[in-house]
Amino acid sequence: MSIARSSLVVGLSSVVSRLLGFARDVLLAAALGAGPAADAFFAAFRIPNLLRRMLGEGGLHPAIVPALTGVPDARKRAGEILGGAGLVVLAATAVAELGAGALVLLAGPGLARHPETLALATDYTRLLLPLVASVALAAALGAVLAAWRHFAAAALSGLILNGALIAALLAPAPSGLERATWLAIAASLGGVLQLAVLALAAPRAIPGLRWRLPALHGLRAGRLLARAVAAAVTSAAIHVFVFAGAQVASFMPSGLSWLHYAERLAQLPTSLVAVLAGIVLLPEMAARAVAGDRPGLLALQNDALHLALLVACPAAAGLALLADPIAGILFERGAFGAADRAGTAAALIGLAPLVPIAAAGKVLAQTLYATGTLRPAVIATLAGFAVALGGGAVLAPAFGIGGVALAVSAGALLHGGLIALALRARGLWQGAGLTARTARIGAATALMALAVRLLEALLPASALALAFFCTAGALVYIGAVVFCGAIPGDWRRLVRKRPGARAAS
């Protein structure tokens, strides 16, 4: 029961964090628009944000939690892990401060053509590096707390960063500071505050926990580090592909900004699938894998995949059909002009296929995690990165930012396909009935898309009309799902408590 409650807190916090992030970006669009200052800020923010998603959303848990489970000196080992993380983070931050310009070129190599923007991005990066250090240490603390079944502090503290940025956007910048500079400072202050909250919560939740000089050495430390890196990279695979796309987009004026705004919109529906995986799917899959219940594991995988596509497919269709009014109504104000609206809409159309593809990949990856297998997920992530980067470079000259976004979706497609092949090779894939289920969802989505297109032709674009399109589309989709028989008849398996399930001691 306590695990269920904690998982619910984590899931709801994730949704709230996404919504706060979306509100933050609406305000950012009005404050910065999509010009050189915005490109510089987003180039500087890209690496901290990627690391925050890789580490702060449970990326270190698969590495640290097993290392602290069932060992007699768990508190001592936890202190050593925290102490070692502190030393590594401090050293890496010092090096990064010296090489901030190289980091910026890694995130946006195209900025080398624009020395003024590059110089701005380098300054912002130096201001944001305390955020990176804070996020990394907060992630390690969160994983240690999770080993003792304490989740709430880490989940709720993750809301602080977006809250700090929203507060900074709503308040005037201090005298003498440019808006983007003030935002970079506010982001780092938010990260430090998040770390402080966890640092105060950890000793209370785990009596006797003390930061120690690391005594880990040899193969044990090497394995832990390798597993931590693998878990962090694979858990944020979609963000890694967007990072690849951003490298190509950096060669386009305002490309980084357009891709950033479009990505935030595409991430809203995929976060719902991430919540499903975090709350229900992985614990149940792990329990069935440990029990040797392979038929039950496969049935649960297919049910979850069906439910994920049931949510993601209409969301993708809606984003593609309504990309222009969405970009205009949500962002077109202040410094964000008509050209920025068109660029963001083009990127959103290219990212729309990413929504169901990412949802399917997220579900399938849980099966690998449940069975303790990380290598295929790492290979799939690296391959997807290569396709997103290379495909973006090939498509950008002809299709602009839309081609870059489409390459990101193609990278995610390869990632999901390779994971499916890895599951098949291990006897963990059962496609019987899945094609028919997917076809029914596709038919329901097509009926919804037709209704939305007809309504869009009849009504002029406005905020009220957009809300009406979304509401009417959702109602049509629900009816179409029932008509097409796309509701999984055994969906209760996804939420039913497993008999005898209990938290690990």
Instruction: Identify the residue with better confidence: 498 or 226.
Output: 226
Domain boundary among 235, 254, 274: 235
C-alpha 132/C-alpha 450 separation (Å) is: 45
The number of folded domains in the chain is 2
Mean pLDDT of 464-473: 90
Place of tokens 């490309």: 255
Residue 495 has pLDDT above 60, yes or no: no
Question: Residue 498: what pLDDT?
Answer: 47
Domain boundary among 205, 235, 265: 235
Residue 205 near residue 148, CB atoms below 8 Å: yes
pLDDT tens-digit profile of 387-423?
999 999 999 999 999 999 999 999 999 999 999 999 9
Residue 50 resides in a domain: yes
Question: Residue 172: what pLDDT?
Answer: 84
Mean pLDDT of 148-161: 76
169 and 121 housed in the same domain: yes
215 and 269 housed in the same domain: no
Mean pLDDT of 254-274: 82
C-alpha 171/C-alpha 460 separation (Å) is: 34
C-alpha 186/C-alpha 96 separation (Å) is: 19
Other beta carbons within 10 Å of 299: 15
Among positive and negative, which fits the CA dihedral 69, 73, 75, 80? Answer: negative
C-alpha 335/C-alpha 8 separation (Å) is: 38
390 and 487 housed in the same domain: yes
125 and 246 housed in the same domain: no
pLDDT band at 274 (very low <50, low <70, confident <90, very high): low
Helix (H, G, I), strand (E, B) or coil at 306: helix
199 and 266 housed in the same domain: no
pLDDT tens-digit profile of 173-219?
888 788 889 999 999 999 899 999 888 888 888 887 877 776 544 44
- The residue range of the domain holding 430 is 236-497
147 and 271 housed in the same domain: no
Q: How many CA atoms lie within 13 A of 247 on its CB side?
A: 22
241 and 136 housed in the same domain: no
Q: Report which of 140, 151, 119, 148 is spatially closest to residue 208, judged by C-alpha positions.
A: 148
149 and 220 housed in the same domain: yes
The segment with the largest mean pLDDT, out of 87-96, 117-126, 171-180, 211-220, is 117-126
282 and 155 housed in the same domain: no
Residue 238 near residue 266, CB atoms below 8 Å: no
C-alpha 111/C-alpha 63 separation (Å) is: 36
C-alpha 140/C-alpha 120 separation (Å) is: 31
Q: Which stretch of 70-74, 383-387, 465-469 has the lowest confidence by average pLDDT?
A: 70-74
Question: Residue 224: what pLDDT?
Answer: 64
Residue type, 426: R
Mean pLDDT of 324-348: 89
pLDDT band at 432 (very low <50, low <70, confident <90, very high): low
Residue 44 resides in a domain: yes
C-alpha 274/C-alpha 265 separation (Å) is: 15
Residue 339 resides in a domain: yes
193 and 110 housed in the same domain: yes
Q: Which two tokens stand for residue 29?
A: 């669009």
What HEC string does 24-93 produce?
HHHHHHHHHCCCHHHHHHHHHHHHHHHHHHHHHCCCCHHHHHHHCCCCCCHHHHHHHHHHHHHHHHHHHH
Among positive and negative, which fits the CA dihedral 55, 261, 414, 433? Answer: positive
Instruction: Identify the residue with better confidence: 218 or 107.
Output: 107
Mean pLDDT, the chain, as a whole number?
A: 81
pLDDT tens-digit profile of 34-65?
778 788 888 888 777 777 767 665 566 666 76
Mean pLDDT of 90-99: 86
Residue 503 resides in a domain: no
Residue 284 has pLDDT above 70, yes or no: no
Domain boundary among 177, 209, 235: 235
* Cα dihedral 355→358→362→368 (10° resolution): 160
How far is C-alpha 330 from the geometric centre of its chain's CA atoms? 21
Note the helical H segments in 292-374.
294-321, 323-331, 338-351, 354-370
Q: Report which of 194, 202, 169, 170 is spatially closest to residue 184, judged by C-alpha positions.
A: 169
The percent of residues in the chain predicted with pLDDT above 90, rounded, is 27
Mean pLDDT of 313-339: 90
Residue 503 has pLDDT above 50, yes or no: no
In Å, how far are 4, 18, 294, 431 from 183, measured between CA atoms? 37, 19, 50, 48
Residue 362 has pLDDT above 80, yes or no: yes
Question: Residue 502: what pLDDT?
Answer: 40
Question: Residue 401: what pLDDT?
Answer: 96
Instruction: Identify the residue with better confidence: 488 or 399.
Output: 399
160 and 289 housed in the same domain: no
The percent of residues in the chain predicted with pLDDT above 70, rounded, is 83
Question: Residue 400: what pLDDT?
Answer: 94
351 and 231 housed in the same domain: no
Residue 267 resides in a domain: yes
